[in-house]
Amino acid sequence: MTPAFPALTAWSDLPRLNVDKFFERFPVIDAAYEAGETGLTDGDIDDLEFIVISGDVSISQEQAREMEAALELEENWTLRIAVDGSVRVDGGTDALFAVSGNLYCNWLGIDKAWASFSVCGRVFASDCVFVSASDEGWMLDLPATRIDTPLLFLWNFKPDNIDLNPDAVMFVLGFEWWGSTLPNRCYAHQQMIHVIDSRFLKPYTCINTEEDIWDSRAIINALAAGESIYRAGVDLRCEQAMDAAGAAMASADFRLGHVRYKQAAAMAPAYYPATMGMADAMRAGQAYAQAFDLYLEASKLFPPEQTGLVNEALNAAARLALRLGRLELARELATQSIDFTQVSHWNDQPLTQAYWIRGEASIAQGDFAAAERDLAQALRFDADQPQPNWLMGFLCFRRGEHDQARAFHAKAARHWLQNGYYDVASTYVVGFNPVSVDWDQIDPASLAPA
């Protein structure tokens, strides 16, 4: 619960301290300045003035906007505002340079200028916190920060230095992302498009996008109005069942994995990963015909506005159509995937798989010219992919071009390490023995909750 603080009556006419007096008042910032952590330079620090609001205080939204407007005026570029105590801000503000106690707000935006002294206590944001590096490159380490919030959005910042409440949900973007040591539920990159409603996402064209994909202002406004930012038909409580399903799959209990994914899909019927997981479990159990139907179902749950990302369910369905001998359907599904994935000019790699799947269907149909065109496209996008190299070698072999076949197969083998094509690609041309299972008849409610 937010404590009640006295309301701030006036702020602009408060006495202004020079840097020496300010450092006496805030020795932690003096130490940070000496360590080069404040962003303040020797050339301009003597021109700075500091307004210090003493004691615990509550700042209205109107006052916060006045402060922000004042700091944006050219004649006030030397002005900084600090609170020597704890502060409650209605809404959020970028105006405060430092807070010696706790900061209570509805939302907070943090950028790469954030430092360990920015809030010496803890941030309590009732709606959300955005942490943005606002540039490209390596993910940055956020200074030790203490945050309580339901939703945390991170762009190009690692979360591991954050002392975060364990029930917070994190959303992460960053070129160098390998996961978090925090126990929090985390959605990174493509995962978040299956959770956040499209109204709160900015358009982007591929998984390696250079820009934020969330619309922070739209999210702030929606949360302030008491609205959910999640997609209709998505309930994050399904993630416990998703975790249990993943554990079952890891232990090769595909039947249990399918039922747990089915539990998740029952709680969140619009959640693409849950239906995709059901299909993956069926495929792992070699129930290919049943997996095919589930992949088609999952493909329809993929957010249709995300045309820069691969609908993996379409590609998986196309590959199973190959294995089931439904060659024309395999070509059609691969073509849908190609048409759907309208990637940017600097990253065509996501198109590779759909092209080599369609190429393989053409080989099976005897249309070698069409196969060569598609496999050449796949190799143009990603020359080291083993599957199109193997298939191009197979095509050359079928045409009697044995030297070229050996060259392509040698290249494929170099990139498969110890696995052969049969183990990795599971394709139509090598055949298979499908089975049927009764897992889809099991009522997920008959299992204890995950």
Residue 429 binned pLDDT confidence (cut-offs 50, 70, 90): very low
Backbone angles phi, psi at 184, to 5 degrees: -70, 150
CA distance 196 to 173: 14
Q: Which CA distances in Å does 137 have to 134, 173, 211, 247?
A: 10, 12, 12, 34
Tokens of 66: 């006045």
Q: What is the pLDDT of residues 385-415, one digit of tens each?
A: 888 998 999 999 999 999 999 999 888 888 7
Mean pLDDT of the chain: 87
The reported pTM is 0.86
Residue 316 has pLDDT above 50, yes or no: yes
Q: Given this model, what pLDDT does residue 136 score?
A: 59
CA atoms within 13 A on the CB side of 55: 8
Helix (H), strand (E) counts: the chain: 15, 15
Task: Please choose, from the candidates 364, 395, 402, the residue with its C-alpha nearest in 3D space to the C-alpha of residue 378.
Answer: 395
**Rounded mean pLDDT, 324-348:** 83
Residue 312 binned pLDDT confidence (cut-offs 50, 70, 90): very high
